[in-house]
């Protein structure tokens, strides 16, 4: 049996959460992408792609709540793949209910589970239906505050090079005034550090710029915090791996997501890469937002 270059990726989540955009990103990255497959067909497709004569080396499958009309469930499919030694990576796309409603309204579509009721009723039914899969997901991406271009960057950063042998850590800076990321496994609050915004000569810079980075990292509390967090995360990673969780997202927040969180996220990324134990990607969600 041929081994795929990466684990098969199952893309699922809330209707309107960005599944189609995610599929396009994986297509652009050279994946063979199959959309809207019933659960029982997914195992057959993965097996087909692992045959010696298969031209497919990277596979992503999109399946959404409409597959419920067919026998089987996505959880059963995941377990069957695991039993065949083909453990998939599950990507769950999500967004806040209010945003999902706006997206459906903008394209004048009804929700697949609306059943003559309100759009909100359909979304609530879907949340209940996909709750178990969301809990099992390796990566959850909240698209509430993401543009199409932002989503592409988040997906590419979250998956990195897809090295199967090391944990993947995504460090995402953000501004609390824009809402904390719901897809983060850990959230760090940098508002205990002095704010460069109140230093006139630094206000126009960002945390990726040396003047701001130097200012933030010169505070003794910043260095002490980073040292302790890197040590703590090293302990947690062993536990995560034991529990089968290889993708971890760390949110690093400050007020606006321009200065402190960005500088600390960059330094955390550098320090974690130095360990050689993890694959690290750093994102700055709100760095260009007002």
Which tens digit of pLDDT belongs to each residue from 230-264?
Answer: 999 989 988 887 777 788 899 999 999 999 999 99
Closest of 17, 60, 8, 54 to residue 36, by C-alpha: 60
| pLDDT score recorded for residue 72 | 65
Q: How far apart are CA 281 and CA 147, in angstroms?
A: 19
**Top-confidence residue, 238 or 192:** 192
> Edge-to-edge strands of the sheet including 32-35?
32-35, 59-62, 9-13, 89-94, 139-142
CA–CA gap between residue 41 and residue 134 (Å, rounded): 21
**What Cα–Cα distance (Å) separates residue 233 from each residue in 175, 182, 192, 193, 229?**
22, 19, 20, 21, 6
pTM to 2 decimal places: 0.72
Task: Please give the annotated binding residues, written as ranges.
Answer: 64-67
| Rounded-to-integer distance, Cα 91 and Cα 180, Å | 20
Numbered residues of the known binding site for GTP: 64-67
Q: What is the pLDDT of residues 97-112, one digit of tens each?
A: 999 999 988 877 888 8
The mean of the pLDDT values for the chain is: 89
Pairing of strands 139-142, 89-94: parallel
Residues near 174 by Cβ (< 8 Å), separated by ≥ 6?
180, 181, 251, 252, 253, 257, 261, 285, 286
Q: Distance between alpha carbon 30 and the CA centroid of its chain, in Å?
A: 19
State which CATH number among 3.40.50.300, 3.90.1300.10, 1.10.10.10, 1.10.357.10 fits the domain covering 9-159. Answer: 3.40.50.300
> Which residues of the chain are in CATH 3.40.50.300 domains?
9-159
């Amino acid at each position: 049996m041929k081994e795929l270059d990466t684990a098969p990726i199952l893309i699922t989540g809330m209707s309107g959460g960005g599944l189609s955009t995610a599929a396009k990103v994986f297509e652009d990255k050279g994946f063979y992408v199959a959309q809207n497959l019933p659960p029982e067909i997914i195992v057959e497709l993965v097996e087909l792609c692992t045959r010696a004569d298969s031209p497919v080396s990277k596979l992503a499958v999109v399946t959404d709540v409409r597959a419920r009309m067919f026998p089987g469930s996505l959880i059963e499919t995941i377990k069957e793949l695991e039993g065949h030694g083909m453990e998939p990576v599950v990507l769950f796309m999500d967004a806040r209910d209010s945003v999902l409603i706006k997206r459906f309204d903008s394209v004048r579509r009804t929700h697949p589970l609306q059943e003559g009721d309100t759009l909100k009723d359909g979304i609530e039914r879907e949340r209940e239906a996909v709750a178990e899969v969301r809990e099992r997901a390796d990566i959850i991406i909240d698209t509430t505050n993401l543009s199409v271009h932002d989503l592409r960057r988040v997906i590419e950063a979250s998956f990195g090079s897809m090295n199967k042998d090391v944990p993947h850590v995504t460090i995402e800076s953000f501004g609390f005034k824009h809402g904390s990321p719901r897809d983060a496994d850990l959230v760090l609050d940098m508002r205990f550090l002095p704010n460069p915004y109140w230093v006139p000569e630094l206000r126009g810079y960002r945390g990726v710029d040396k003047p701001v980075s130097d200012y933030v990292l010169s505070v003794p509390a910043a260095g002490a915090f980073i040292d302790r967090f890197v040590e703590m995360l090293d302990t947690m990673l062993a536990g995560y791996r034991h529990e089968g969780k290889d993708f971890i997202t760390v949110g690093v927040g400050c007020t606006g997501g321009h200065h402190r969180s960005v500088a600390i996220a960059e330094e955390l990324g550098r320090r974690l890469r130095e360990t050689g134990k993890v694959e690290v990607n750093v994102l700055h969600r709100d760095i260009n937002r007002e």
